[in-house]
Amino acid sequence: MEIFSARNISAVVIFLLFLIGVVPLVGCSYTNESSIESRPVEAMKMKKISPEAAKEQMDKNKNSILLDVRTEEEYEEIHIPESILIPLDTLEASAEEQMIDKSIPIFIYCRSGRRSVTAAQILLELGYTEVYDLGGIIDWPYETKSKKP
């Protein structure tokens, strides 16, 4: 049996090419967890809150913001007292002008809860840190105001 036959040399060459190609890739996939810079996961998560818990927190912290992200027409029809209106379609462009302090609690509501989730995500991306999804005004059991007679 010949050690350096053409067949054996081909197998060795293929094996060496495999090692040259695969070993560096495997080495790159290893990460040392202590070297990874990480942000707190909770800081980027929207917090869902019940109307009862939101009201309690807003009563305690008068600096909080109650944000309505519906349309102006919906706001005029019915809204929660002390809320400010920034319609969802203008939120990204005007949030930082109207809500300067990004660390104060913001409680967001809409009609049913869909737009409030989107609004919360936008505010988190803009750097706001205390963002609460209150859901929809249809679930608000407390006082509301209407501009219509």
Residues annotated as part of the active site: 110
Question: How does residue 30 score in pLDDT terms, banded at 50, 70 and 90?
Answer: very low
pTM for this model (two decimals): 0.70
Write out the E strands in 37-90. 47-48, 65-68, 84-85
pLDDT computed for residue 125 by the predictor: 96
CB count within 10 Å of CB 46 equals 16
Distance set, CA 86 to CA 45, 60, 62 (Å): 21, 23, 19
pLDDT higher than 70, residue 127: yes
Contact 110, 68 (CB under 8 A): yes
CB count within 10 Å of CB 124 equals 15
Give the pair of three-digit tokens for residue 34: 């202590």
Residue range 41-139, CATH number: 3.40.250.10
- What residue ranges do the domains of the chain occupy? 6-35, 41-139
Q: CA-to-CA distance for 135 and 23, rounded, in angstroms?
A: 51
pLDDT computed for residue 144 by the predictor: 97
Lowest-pLDDT range of 40-44, 53-57, 79-83, 99-103: 40-44
| Average pLDDT value over all residues in the chain | 82
Question: How does residue 148 score in pLDDT terms, banded at 50, 70 and 90?
Answer: low
